Structure 1
C-alpha cells in the first residue's frame, strides 16, 4: 500500500498543495505513480468554489468505490476544500472513503496513511476511517516542499492562505480559514533553493496574495509587505521571472502599480478579478471597489506598462443581476480588453450569503450572458495575437510540448508559444519570432542566428 496517485481539482493553490503532499509522501517512503490504475492509494484533492467541482470529485470517489469492492485494501482519500466544507458528512454519501483531510491538515496525510496501513496489517475487521478537518495554527508554513520534474523551470510558491474578505458568493473563507501569512525570510529562502535547483520562473500564490503580511510586517517608506517580498524575490540570482495570483483589486495601491515599472523580473501580466462591472452587484457581492476604481487600476497599470496583459474572473447571473447590470459588466469587460478571462455562471454555495438571496437568475439567462462574454474574449485574444505576428518575443523555454514534436514556453505576457529548438535551451530566455497564431497559442521560430534548432 505504498503506491499513491493524487488527482487535483480546482485552482493553482490546490496544485501546489498536492505537490507538497506528494513531496512529504515521497520522503516517508511512498511512491507517487503517474496513473491511477497502478495505485494502491487514490487521493482526490478537491475544490468547493462551484458545485460542479464538488460533483466531479464525488462522482470520481463513487467510481473508485467499485475498485475498492474488488480490492478491499485499496485506499480512497478526499483532501482539501470539499473535505473541509463537508467533513464527516461525506461518509454518508461515500461510505467507502477511508480518509478525509481538510485544508489545514495536508501535512498530516503521511501519518494518516501510515496509520491506515498499520490497521490493515493488523487485520482490522471494522472499517478504519480518519477524518481530520480541525484548524491548526501555523499550518500555512507546512506547504513548502517541492517535487520537481527533470529540468523543471517553473514553480509555485505558497506565501499566504485563508481569506478575510467575505464575498457574498464565496465559500473560501469557510474552506481555507482566516488569512495567514508565512514568514518572509522562509519564502525568500524557498525561492532561493528553487533557483539553485534550476527553477527560473516563480509564481507566488495566495487566496488574496496582495494581502500578504499586512498584520505581520510594517509598511516601509510607503511600500507594503507584499511589494517588499517582490523586491526580495526580484533580487535572487538565477531567477528570471516572477508572477503572482490571485490578488484583489484593493491591493493595487501606488506601490504595487509602480513595482511593474521598476522590478525587471516582475512580468507584465496581471490577473485582476473584476467579478462584475455593476456597482449595484458589486455591493451585493460585498466587493469593496467600484467599476470606476477598477477601471482606474487598469489604466494606471497600462500607464506604467503599456504592453500589460490582463486576465480576470467574472461571475454572470449573480442573484438579482438585471439586463442593465450585465450590460455594465459587458461594457467594462470590453473596455478593459482582457487577454484571458475565467467566466463563471453563478453557482449556489450553501452557507454563503448569496445562496439565500432573492431573484436567483434562471440558468438559461446565465448561459446566454456567459456566451456573450466568451465571444468577446475570443475576439480580444485574436486581436491581441494579430498584433504579435511578425514581432520577436522573449520566451522562457519550458520543455517539449505535449506531442513531443516541438518545444514550448511562455512570453512575459503569459502567452504559450510553440517552436523548434534544442533541449539544451530549456530554462533559457530566447527570442522567438511569431509567425502564426491561433486563439490560444502562438507559433514561431528562434530568432538567434546560429542557434541549433
Structure 2
C-alpha cells in the first residue's frame, strides 16, 4: 500500500513552484499526494523566513499535522530550514530538516518514515547553494508559477533571502522554454514568471557569473512559445525593469499589462539605509513609462513600514509619495528584525505599536488605490481567466490587468478565458460583469 504525503507551503510563489516540483518527484516514486487537512503518513512543510509571522506559523502547522496523525513523519524544508535548522529540528514533532540544496533530494533522506526522537538536520553552507534546480507549480491552479531564477546578489540590509537561497543563478533559456511548453501542453492558460530577483535573469545560467541572456531575451523567447495564452511577470526590481521590456510588454499579445514593482520606502534617506539600488526619482520614472506605454496597466507595490530610523516625517514622505503615484495596490510589510542582517543592529528602532499604526494607514491607502483602479476599468471590455474554486457559491477570476471579478459558481467556467464587460463593484470590492457573446474574440 502506497504512503500518503501532504504538503504545506509558506511564503512566496517561488516556494509554491518548488513544492510542486518536489511533490511530483515523490508521486513519481509511488507516494499518493493528499490535502494537508487529511490524514497522511508524511507531512512536508516548505518554510519562509521573510517575516516573523511566517516563523510563528510554522509551529501552528506542525501542530495541525500532528493532530491529523500523531504518528506521521514531519519534514521541514525551505528558507527558514536553511537559516535556522537546529531551531526547527527542536520543534516538537519535527523529524527531518532539509536546507537549500537538500530539499530537492528529499527522497534520499527518507528510510521507513518512523518518528525520530529529535529532528535530523541536513543543511549545507549557503555558499554551496550555487547550482540551479528548475521547477514549476501546477495542479489545482488555473495558472502556473514557473521558476526562472533563484538566489540574490543584492545586500539589502533587512533581507535574509541571500542567506537562505545563496547567490543569483538562472535556469537555462532552453529549460525555461521546455517547462513552459510542458505547462502549456497540460492546458494551463496562464504562466507567472517567478524567482528571487527575476530581473537578474541570465546571471549564472551556465554556472558562471556573466549574463548569457538578459531578462528581455527571456521575455521575447517566451512570447513565441505556442499555446500559452497569458504570461505574467511577478515581482521585478525597478532598476532591472528596463524601458525596452516595458515597450515589449506593451506590444505583446501574450504578456499581460501587470507589473509588481517593490518600492519598500518613499524616502530616499531610508532607501539608502536599506541599500536599495535606486531612489524615488527612478521609481517615478518607471511608473510614468509604464502608464505612458500601457495606460490600463495594473501596478502593484511592495512597501515596508517601521524600518529602523523611520521617523514620522519619513513615513509621511512614503505615504504622500504612494498617494501621488498612479499605482493600483500595495503589499504592506511591517518590518520585523531578522537575525544576521545589518538592519537588526541599526539604531532608531520603531515601537511595534507605531509600526502597526503605519501599516494600517498604508493598507487603507491600498484599498483606496485598488478601488480607484477598478473604477477606472468599469464599462471596458476585458478577458477573464476563471479559477477552479467554489467560494461561497461564487467563481472568481482575474482580467489580464489583474482586476478580480466574481460571478455565481459555474463549473463549466473553470480554466476558461471569456470576454466580459466590467459593470459594477460589489460590497466585497470585487467587480461584477456581463459576458460578451463568444463571437467577440478574446
- When normalised by structure 1's length, the TM-score is 0.89
- Once the two structures are superposed, residues 268-319 of structure 1 have per-residue CA deviations (whole angstroms, 9 ceiling, x without a partner) of 1110100000000000000011111110111011111111111011111100
Moved more, 348-357 or 332-341: 332-341
CA contact (8 A) 1:339 1:384 kept: yes
Which one of 185, 188, 193 corresponds to residue 177 of structure 2? 188
Which one of 333, 336, 342 corresponds to residue 344 of structure 1? 333
- Alpha-carbon distance between aligned partners in 2 of 1:36 and 1:425, rounded to the nearest angstrom: 27
Partner of 1:335: 324
CA contact (8 A) 1:140 1:180 kept: yes
Change (3 A) 1:192 1:356: same
- Once the two structures are superposed, residues 227-284 of structure 1 have per-residue CA deviations (whole angstroms, 9 ceiling, x without a partner) of 1111111111211111122211110222222222222211111101000000000000
3-state SS in 1 of match to 2:371: helix
Moved more, 166-175 or 208-217: 208-217
Partner of 1:155: 144
Partner of 2:405: 417
Which one of 233, 237, 248 corresponds to residue 248 of structure 1? 237
Moved more, 314-323 or 207-216: 207-216
- Structure 1 residue 322: Cα displacement: 1.1
The aligned runs of 1:220-259 (5 Å cut-off) are 225-259=214-248
- Alpha-carbon distance between aligned partners in 1 of 2:129 and 2:162, rounded to the nearest angstrom: 16
Which one of 351, 363, 368 corresponds to residue 374 of structure 1? 363
- Structure 1 residue 342: Cα displacement: 1.0
Change (3 A) 1:366 1:189: same
CA contact (8 A) 1:295 1:336 kept: yes
Over the residues paired in the alignment, what is the CA RMSD in angstroms? 2.5
Q: Which protein has the bigger helix share? A: 1
3-state SS in 1 of match to 2:254: coil
Q: How many correspondences in the alignment?
A: 432
| 1:133 pairs with 2:123 | yes
- Alpha-carbon distance between aligned partners in 2 of 1:387 and 1:245, rounded to the nearest angstrom: 23
- Alpha-carbon distance between aligned partners in 2 of 1:279 and 1:436, rounded to the nearest angstrom: 39
Partner of 1:102: 99
- When normalised by structure 2's length, the TM-score is 0.91
The aligned runs of 1:270-419 (5 Å cut-off) are 270-399=259-388, 401-403=390-392, 405-419=393-407
CA contact (8 A) 1:16 1:156 kept: yes
CA contact (8 A) 2:134 2:171 kept: no
3-state SS in 1 of match to 2:217: helix
- Structure 1 residue 64: Cα displacement: 4.7
Partner of 2:422: 434
- Alpha-carbon distance between aligned partners in 2 of 1:81 and 1:176, rounded to the nearest angstrom: 7
3-state SS in 2 of match to 1:249: coil
- Alpha-carbon distance between aligned partners in 2 of 1:132 and 1:206, rounded to the nearest angstrom: 24
- Structure 1 residue 6: Cα displacement: 0.9
Change (3 A) 1:327 1:224: farther
CA contact (8 A) 2:171 2:205 kept: no
Which one of 192, 198, 211 corresponds to residue 203 of structure 1? 192
CA contact (8 A) 1:160 1:182 kept: yes
Partner of 1:38: 39
CA contact (8 A) 2:420 2:436 kept: yes
Residue segments in structure 1 that go unaligned for 5+ positions in a row: none
3-state SS in 1 of match to 2:21: helix
- Structure 1 residue 338: Cα displacement: 2.7
Moved more, 268-277 or 126-135: 126-135
